[in-house]
């Protein structure tokens, strides 16, 4: 018999720690997935023999490169860029690009690993990748952002392609940055092709892509509630973040009759007991995407709201919670507070926003908990549809894509239930997402043999 990886979970995790020293986020993400997969593959010798989990937890490659650019005062600035191509067993690498000072190789490896399972869950042919740079777009002029994006793409272009690796936006990378990067790719290669998603509507972008992640996270929550014969109408929601995901989640909660009480940014959160309705959401979208201001300015505009500097919103009593800002933004104590305040469902718009301790608290309290890899998959799903439209040189309308998104989110929810139903009426959505996502990738890898 071939050498098997029949080690126990603890030994496996120790190995991951040893091979990835100091990469805490990556180890955290692998640990979370490994717990469920070990149970699932306990009696499946073929996965052990082929060392499937060990292989998925070792990126196909990590490319790191220098990004040199000139600021407005003609100072030469140097940043580090990365592309992590985790796994392309079921389709071209696919995953966003993040520009934020907190970006490290560990953060991108964790995101690319998670992306592999998320993309698999959508049912579309997409592998997992992620990229970014430790560049802070905040406070930079348009010209500086453009020069940075062009320099970043001048190196990245050789590693990507419509059938190889198709990046998208993420934190700090919105329509403006995608436009600059796509323009530079086209300039260098002389080719117009669907190499990035999240593009503007004028040049190959898809309807519904801007809304897809935030709306999708709310559709996932709607499906969890529906499974318990409940709904969003009349419920209060606490949301973190005020970027693409958070504002669209707020919009969809409002559309379904819920009341949004909070939004935040890295400076603090605003609490509006009257509810953050569509007009207020539109004002915040303009503040963040055009005026590039801070969420604290909300209280100058709308009376009755308060701003809480340096704090996160999880202490505000609510029925529904949607973390939509960043990783590890909801810890064990905050999860406990949400539970004590009567939260019934949590749907993650962000990637890994809840710490492992927080996840255990939600599970122990039998709270409906939709992890990011399932709940925020709507964004990449519509990106997959953008790839299809680009390949066919067509564009589908808003209504058609809206229907496809709701169906995709329902499908993801149902796969989670299939593999995560605990038999006592409680669904472990983390387990369901991990196993369903893993199985498709693993079976493809088995088919390829040792590659």
CB of 110 to ligand NDP, least distance (A): 11
Q: For 279-324, what is the HEC assignment?
A: HHHHHHHHHHHCCCCCHHHHHHHCCCCEEEECCCHHHCCCCEEECC
Helix-helix angle 105-121:378-392, to 10 degrees:
70
CB of 170 to ligand NDP, least distance (A): 5
Helix (H, G, I), strand (E, B) or coil at 97: strand
- Is residue 94 within 8 A of residue 126, CB to CB? The reply is yes
Is 130 in the active site?
yes
CB of 297 to ligand NDP, least distance (A): 12
Instruction: Tell me the C-alpha distance between 226 and 220, whole Å.
Output: 10
CB of 50 to ligand NDP, least distance (A): 30
Please pick, among 94, 118, 130, 285, the residue that the annotation labels catalytic.
130
Instruction: Tell me the C-alpha distance between 45 and 343, whole Å.
Output: 41
* Closer residue to ligand NDP (CB): 150 or 351: 351
CB of 351 to ligand NDP, least distance (A): 4
Q: Which residue is nearest to ligand NDP (CB)?
A: 243
Instruction: Tell me the C-alpha distance between 347 and 222, whole Å.
Output: 10
* Closer residue to ligand NDP (CB): 154 or 389: 389
Instruction: Tell me the C-alpha distance between 428 and 163, whole Å.
Output: 35
* Closer residue to ligand NDP (CB): 167 or 258: 167
* Closer residue to ligand NDP (CB): 258 or 323: 323
Element (H, E) at 82: strand 76-87
Burial of 383 (0-12, 13-18, 19+ CB in 10 A): buried
- Report the residue count for the chain: 451
Of 68, 61, 78, nearest in space to 160 by CA: 61
Q: Where does this chain bind ligand NDP (CB under 6 A)?
A: 169-172, 174, 213, 241-246, 265-267, 324-326, 329, 349-351, 376, 379
* Closer residue to ligand NDP (CB): 125 or 293: 293
Residues marked active site are found at 130
């Amino acid at each position: 018999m071939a050498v098997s990886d029949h080690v126990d979970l603890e030994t496996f995790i120790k190995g991951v720690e040893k091979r990835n020293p100091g990469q805490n986020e990556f180890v955290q993400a692998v640990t979370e997935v490994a717990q469920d997969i070990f149970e699932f593959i306990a009696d499946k010798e073929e996965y052990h023999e082929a060392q499937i989990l060990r292989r998925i937890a070792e990126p196909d490659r990590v490319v790191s490169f220098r990004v040199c650019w000139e600021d407005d005062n003609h100072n030469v600035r140097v940043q580090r860029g990365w592309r992590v191509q985790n796994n392309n067993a079921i389709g071209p690498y696919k995953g966003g690009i993040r520009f934020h000072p907190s970006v490290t190789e560990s953060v991108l490896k964790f995101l690319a690993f998670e992306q592999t399972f998320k993309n698999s869950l959508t049912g579309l042919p997409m592998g997992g990748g992620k990229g970014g740079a430790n560049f802070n777009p905040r406070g930079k002029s348009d010209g500086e952002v453009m020069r940075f994006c062009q320099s970043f793409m001048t190196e990245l272009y050789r590693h990507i392609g419509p059938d190889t690796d198709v990046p998208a936006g993420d934190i700090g990378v919105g329509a403006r940055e995608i436009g600059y990067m796509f323009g530079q790719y086209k300039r260098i290669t002389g080719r117009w092709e669907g190499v990035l998603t999240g593009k503007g509507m004028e040049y190959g972008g898809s309807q519904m892509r801007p809304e897809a992640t935030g709306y999708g996270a709310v559709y996932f929550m709607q499906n969890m509630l529906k499974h318990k014969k409940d709904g969003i109408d009349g419920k209060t929601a606490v949301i973190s973040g005020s970027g693409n995901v958070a504002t669209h989640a707020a919009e969809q909660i409002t559309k379904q009759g819920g009341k949004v009480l909070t939004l935040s940014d890295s400076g603090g959160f605003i609490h509006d007991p009257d509810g953050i309705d569509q007009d207020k959401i539109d004002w915040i979208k303009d503040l963040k995407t055009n005026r590039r201001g801070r969420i604290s300015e909300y209280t100058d505009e709308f009376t009755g709201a308060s701003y809480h500097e340096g704090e996160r919103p999880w202490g505000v009593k609510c029925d529904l919670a949607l973390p939509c800002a960043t990783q590890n933004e909801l810890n064990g104590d905050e999860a406990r507070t949400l539970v004590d305040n009567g939260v019934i469902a949590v749907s993650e718009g962000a990637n890994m926003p809840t710490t492992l301790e927080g996840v255990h608290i939600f599970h122990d309290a039998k709270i409906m908990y939709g992890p990011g890899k399932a709940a925020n998959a709507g964004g990449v799903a519509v990106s997959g549809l953008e790839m299809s439209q680009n390949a066919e040189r067509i564009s589908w309308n808003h209504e058609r894509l809206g229907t496809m998104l709701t169906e995709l989110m329902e499908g993801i929810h149902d796969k989670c239930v299939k593999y995560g139903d605990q038999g006592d009426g409680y669904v472990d959505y983390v387990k369901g997402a991990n196993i369903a996502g893993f199985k498709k990738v693993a079976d493809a890898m088995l088919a390829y043999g040792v590659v």
